[in-house]
Structures are given as C-alpha cells and as structure tokens.
Structure 1
Amino acid sequence: MEQRSGNRILLCSDYLPPSDGGVEQVVQKLALHLVDEGCEVGVFTLDDGARDFELQDVPDVSFHTASALDLTDIIGLQSMFSVSALSEFRRVLREFQPDIVHAHNRFFYTSVLAAVYSICADYKLVTTLHLGDIGMISGFGGVAAKTFEQTISRFVISRSEQVICVSAAAELIAQSLGANRTVVIRNVVDINEFSPNSINGKSLLYIGRFVHNNGIQDLLTALPSILDSHPDAEIHLVGSGPLEEEVLATIESSGLSDSVTTYDYVDDISEMYDRASVFCRPSYSEGLPLTMLEAMASGVPPVVTAIAGVPEVVTDYETGVLLEPGNPDEVAQAVIELFDDAELRARLAKNSREYITENLTWEQRTEKVIEVYSQVTTNV
C-alpha cells in the first residue's frame, strides 16, 4: 500500500445541500474548513436524484454518491435507504483509503455503513450526534426511531472511537447508548456570512423541515393570535417535507395567505434573516439547531423550545426566549411580546450576536474537530 502523510478524512451524511437540514449544512461547512486546514477530504452521501449537490463541484473534495430512496414522506422522519450504497461505500474505502471516517447522525444510513465496515476496514470511526432526546416524537415515526436507537444506533456508537456531541444534552444520550469516549463540540456559525441587518418592521421567520419534530404545527396554531395582535406582521416559512401539503392547507383554511409566505428552498439563506425581526422554531427534539445559531449571529432574537442543547446557548430573556414544547399559546405570547417591545428585541439581538462571535465560530469548531482526529489516530 502506498504510504500516505497526514489524515485522510471521509465525511458521511445521508443528505447534503441543497437539502435544507442543519446536519447537511454542518457537514458541508466542515468539509470546506478541513480543506482549508490542509486535510485531504472525501465526502460520501446518498442521492435520490432530486438535486445537484453543491460540493460535487469543489475540486479539493473527493465527492462520492450512491443512488437511494428517500423514505421521509413515508415514515415522517428524515430517512434514506440504499442497496447500491453497500458496494459503493466499499469502493470508496478502497479508492480513497481514509484514516478516519466521520459519520453524522446516529439515525443515518451512511452512519450504519461506516460502523459495519469499520469491523474489517483499516480506519478509525468518529460519529457526531446532532440530535438530543427523541422521547417526544410521537406516532409510527417515534416508535421506529426509538427502536432504531436502542438497537442499530447502539451498534454505531459501540464501533465509534470517539463520539462528538453538539451539546451536553446530546452527550448524555451518547453515554446512555454506551459511548465510552465523548466530547462536546457545539454547532457553530460563519459570523461573516450571518451578520446583523436591523429592521424596524415586524417579521417572523421559521426555517426547518416541515415535520412534526420541528413544531411547525404549533407555530401555525399560534399565527392567528399573533396576527390578531399585529395584523401588519409578515410571516416567512422556509422549508419542505411530509407536512408541506398540510402546512399550505392550514394557511389557506385559516385565512393567513395574505400574511404568510412559504419558500421550499432559498439559495442564500442569510437573506431571510436580513428580513426578520424574530425567529421561531418550537421544536420537540433537537441537538443544537443550526438555524437558531444563524438567527442569533444575524441579530434576530430566537423564540425556541427549551430542549436538548438549546438552554446551553440561549438564556431566557438574555439571548432569546425559551418555551416549553407543545404549547402554541406560549409561542404566540412570546412573539407578540417581542413585536410589542422594540427595546427588548434590540437587547436580545445584541446579546445573541455577541454570544455567537465570542463562543461559536467555525475556526473554533474546526480546531476542536481536528484535535479529536489527532487523538483517535494516536490512541490518546
């Protein structure tokens, strides 16, 4: 075998941009920052034929895909399945010869592949847990996720030399699944891409997949009260997913069409934060939502549920407003209060931006991830 110098890193994610989830955004940014730090980077993802990947045209990234079926609309949770990935992943391992395979999300198909092949292949497996407690996910999707977590996710964790957790709450989940070596490295933001652009109007922004897990249904329930108090407010909903038809139908049937604008995908998401005065994502399950951090970096105060890693970053009425999940009335009250009080809005916006710039930048995160790679390859 040809001798190699330095670490070769293969990042694995079922989804990548232009898919609009937070995990895929993190993986893409990590790939680019690792390249900037001199690492040899490969990426393996799944392709349902519905998009052209942004990373495939980056010359310094070795980009690989396998055809797949997206099951999200069937089970209600983000999910992919691929038969061809079994052989394609083996081919990529043979050709790219990674020192480290870095899997993302304990529920992703590619994470399972990375764990299975680690049994016989010569690489170290690192896994990042992006999601916290899934206990509030209901229905068939919740049952499936909990069963998967206690079986297959446990296997992925058991094969991982190191588990990176995006929050202390996610670290507790990792440890409950048997992780021996864990470290908290929080999600971060490009503070140059996302920066404040103060507006005087009343504009509410939601960004995320239209799934029950993200609480879009609670926000829709809260909108009539918000608009009764502030009929001049603008509502912007950015996302797509299995609840998309239900979201559009609710907007129409509730008479909200004149105030609500929906977007299935936005090329430059920073422009959406530039239009917003309040951000809201009333999720039921998260790790540390990237969109919340982007809003904070953009000086848009977040109204978010106090779950998983969110309270580790958002201090109630200092850097945002914290809510209990599953309470549309609280959502409405918090948004109305911020629309009513421009001074409070401005203070939270300033504090949010300062917190991000001091604690959560990509330079800080990349350095910490590379340190993890160094530790696992030297068995420290």
Structure 2
Amino acid sequence: MKAEKSVMMLLSNPATHDVRPLKEALALAKRGFKVMILSWDRERNSPRLSLSGNLLIHRLNLRAPYGQNIRTFIGLLLFYAWCTITSFLYKFQVIHCHDADMFLCGVILKIARLGRVKLIYDMHDHPIAFLDRFPMHDFIVKTILSMAKKYGDSIIVVNEGFVDYLSKIGFPREKITVIMNVPPKAIRGNFRVSNKNQDKFIIFYYGDISAQRGVDKLIEAVTGLEGVELFLAGRGDLVPLLKNLENRYKNIKYLGWISISEIDSLIKKVNLIPSLYMPDNINHILATPGKLFMAMAHGIPVLVPEGSYQAVIVKKYECGIVVDMNDTVKVREAVSKLASSPDLCKKLGENGIKAINELFNWQIMEKRLIRTYNSFIF
C-alpha cells in the first residue's frame, strides 16, 4: 500500500455492522484514499481479509465477549499487540482510531513511528461508555482525554454538544470536527401516520434493552395502552422481563435480535421511534444515536428524554416529543397524544425530513471528513 493518501483505521469490532466507520472508510476510498481497517472479529464469523477497491479490511479472528470484563480486557491487549505487529506490514500517513478503546492503540502506533503519522481520534462516545465499570474509571478517562489533547492531531465528534464539552476542558476548537452519524438526504417520508383509519399506533424500539436506556420506563408507560403496540428488538438484561410481559399483554411484542435490513423494513411501517439514553452520565447526556436521525429521515416522530442533547435537537427542529422518562405517567400521556393526533405526527415528520435535507445528512458530513483530511496532510 503506497504511503500517499493512505489511512489505517482501528476498530474493535468486525467492521460488518458498525455503520459509521464503514461510511467514513468508503467516503475516503471514493476520494482516492487507500484505506485499511484493522478490526477485531470476536465471534470469528467474518473472513480474515476483505478487499473492495481502495478499501481493505484485515481482521483478527480472536474470540472474546463484548462488555467490560477481564476476558474482554485480555483480548483487547492481544488485539493491540496484533495491530502493532500488523501495522508494520503497511505504509500509511494517518491513523484513524474509532473510540477510546482504539485511541490508546493509535497512540502506541504513533509513538512507534516517532510521531511521523497523523492521529485522528473519532469519538463516537465519551470514554466513560467503555470504562464505567472499571476501578478508578474517572482517573482513566482523564488520562485518555489528556493524551487526546497531546497526541491527537484531529478530534472527530458526533455533535456540537461534544464540541462545547471538550473546549471547556482545554481542547482547541480548531482541532475538533463534527461528523454526525446521519443518513443521506431523505428521499420521501413515511406519512402512514396521517392515515386516520389506521388500526394501531406502532412504537418501535431497537437497540440495548436495558434500564440504562429507559426501556423499563417505556414498557411500563405503554403496557395495556389501547390502540398502541410496542415492538422491541435487540439484546439486554431486560429481555427475560420483556418475554414475561409479552405473554401477559397483547400490545407488547419482542422481536429478538434482527438484522439491519429487517430494521430498515420495519421502520417504514411504524409511527414513533424512541431514542432513549437516560441522561444519568455524561455520555448519555451528549449522545445523538443514529436512530434519531434515521427516524427523522423517514418522517417519523421521535421520543427522547429531557435533559439530553437529543432533546435540544428535537425541540429546536420540532421533530418529536421530549419527556421526562422517569415520569411514566407523562410518557403515557405523550404517547396517547401522538396516537390520537395524526396531523401532529405528520407535521413533526415533515419537520424531521426538512432538518435532514438541510442540515443533518451524510452528504454534508462526507465533505467535512474530506476537508479534515486535506487540511493537515494533503
């Protein structure tokens, strides 16, 4: 691989389902960059090498669980060692690290090359998301952020909330670029919600089925609510409870773990998408999940928790409803209001599409990504 316009990305998953890194890699490859992703296939289900045009994915097939436990930590150290050794097989000018667990590996590679390569820290989540169960996690987070200030040539974040947060703790704003995890411009909306003869108002939640995401509050709020059905897909510690409730209440349906294509198909048929991160830590407060923008692109109202950066977006662009997720009575009232107001749902959906087409689309973010690369190396 030639050194000219060459990028090495580091990713702690198999690079098969994590949409954001793949979109960035493909955008760079399309512009003539040679991109190689070193990735960790923990389930050993993917080929060791995948090549498509300018994009090469080189995987370590090493079995290990996800989460914060000793087996994962040992596996991560082995992955670091593999990345360090494998990196010497290639020439590259930029190390692009996805999230905190890979940033430390990127620092090692930069030091190993005597600082002759640029280092990008792509902060999908606040570092606490990976460390909250570790002893001394506050100290480790401060260390990571301090190293990011010292070694990071560019910091990519997912929204302006992260920019404000990082600038307050000493990061130069000129080193920070906002690249949001957003879809392409919306082609058409889902205005099924405007059909007043519709039998059911369908809510679709997908992702981590846990109390941290407020799923227990959502279930409590809509259980037995007439005319409303709640579909849930994903994994998490609340699945046993969910299966029990599914047997007792007709309007609760658990779909299990479903594919991205199945999610995309189901989204087009629903009326409301909750994007729930309970704002009980800095990562949940700042997060703007991809499902928020996916719902907006399809013209579907979103339900988000008060006190989050998501709430700032939803209020500003009037594309959904903001509610205190700890107050299940208010959540129930909010859902009932939307279920009985198809015209309101249509208006919120139209506002979401407008915001996507004007501000929150991948065409805009792709230009920012290329501009960031060109600004400091090419």
* TM-score, reference length from structure 2: 0.83
CA contact (8 A) 2:275 2:289 kept: no
Flag the structure with larger Rg.
2
> What's the C-alpha RMSD, in Å, of the aligned pairs?
3.2
Instruction: Render the CA deviation track for 1:138-193: whole Å, top value 9, x for unaligned.
Output: x963876544322334324432111112112112333355433223233321236x
CA distance in 1, matches of 2:211, 2:232: 15
Secondary structure in 1 matching 2:121: strand
Alignment of 1:252-291 (within 5 A): 252=247, 255-256=248-249, 259-268=252-261, 269-284=263-278, 285=284, 286-291=286-291
1:162 is aligned to 2:154: yes
Instruction: Specify which of 9, 12, 25 is matched with residue 11 of structure 1.
Output: 9
Q: What CA distance in whole angstroms lies between the structure 2 residues aligned with 1:50 and 1:220?
A: 35
Q: What residue identity is the alignment partner of 2:37?
A: V
Q: 1:27-66 alignment to 2 at 5 Å? A: 27-49=21-43, 51-52=45-46, 56=50, 58-66=52-60
SS of the equivalent of 1:82 reads helix
Q: Report the residue type matching 1:293 in the other structure.
A: F
**Partner residue in 1 for 2:220:** 221
Q: CA offset at residue 123 of structure 1? A: 1.5
- Asked whether the equivalents of residues 8 and 97 of structure 1 are also in contact (C-alpha less than 8 Å), the reply is yes
Deviations 1:107-143 (A, max 9, x none): x2x2221122222223111112223596xx8x96387
* 1:236-289 per-position Cα deviation (integer Å, ceiling 9, x unaligned): 21222344334434544xx23553132312241321211111111221205221
Change in CA separation of 1:177 and 1:113 when aligned onto 2, cut-off 3 Å: farther
Between the aligned residues of both structures, percent identity stands at: 17
* Residues 272-323 of structure 1 deviation map (CA, whole Å, 9 limit, x = unaligned): 2111111112212052210110011011111112455324432268211122
Distance 1:244 1:311, change over 3 A: same
Contact 1:157/1:174 (CA < 8 Å) preserved in 2? no
SS of equivalent residue, structure 2 residue 287: coil
1:215 CA drift (Å): 2.2
Q: Distance between the aligned counterparts of 2:238 and 2:44, measured in 1?
A: 18
What is the aligned partner in structure 2 of residue 238 from structure 1? Answer: 233
- Residues 244 and 195 of structure 1, relative CA distance in 2, 3 Å threshold: farther
**Paired position in structure 2 for 1:83:** 77
Change (3 A) 1:211 1:59: farther
Q: What CA deviation, in whole Å up to 9, does each residue of 1:332-376 have, x standing for no partner? A: 222221111111000000110111011122121111011111223
Match of residue 151 from structure 1? 143
Taking the aligned partners of 1:317 and 1:90, their CA distance within structure 2 comes to 45
Call closer, same or farther: CA 1:30–1:315 in 2, change over 3 Å: same
**Cα 1:131/1:86, change in 2 over 3 Å:** closer
Residue ranges of structure 1 left out of the alignment (5+ in a row): none
> Tell me, which stretches of 5 or more residues in structure 2 are unaligned?
279-283
Instruction: Tell whether 2:95 aligns with 1:101.
Output: yes
Given that residues 49 and 56 in structure 2 are in contact (C-alpha distance below 8 angstroms), is that contact kept between their aligned partners in structure 1?
no
Give the counterpart letter for 2:84 in structure 1.
Answer: R
Counterparts of 2:317 and 2:375 in 1: how far apart (Å)? 39
Contact 1:283 1:325 survives alignment (8 Å): no
Runs of 4+ in 1 over 6 A off after TM superposition: none
Q: Are the counterparts in 1 of residues 228 and 251 from structure 2 also a CA contact under 8 Å?
A: no
Quick one: distance in 1 between partners of 2:125 and 2:315?
A: 20
User: Shift in Å at residue 63 of structure 1?
Assistant: 0.6
Cα drift, residue 80 of structure 1: 8.8
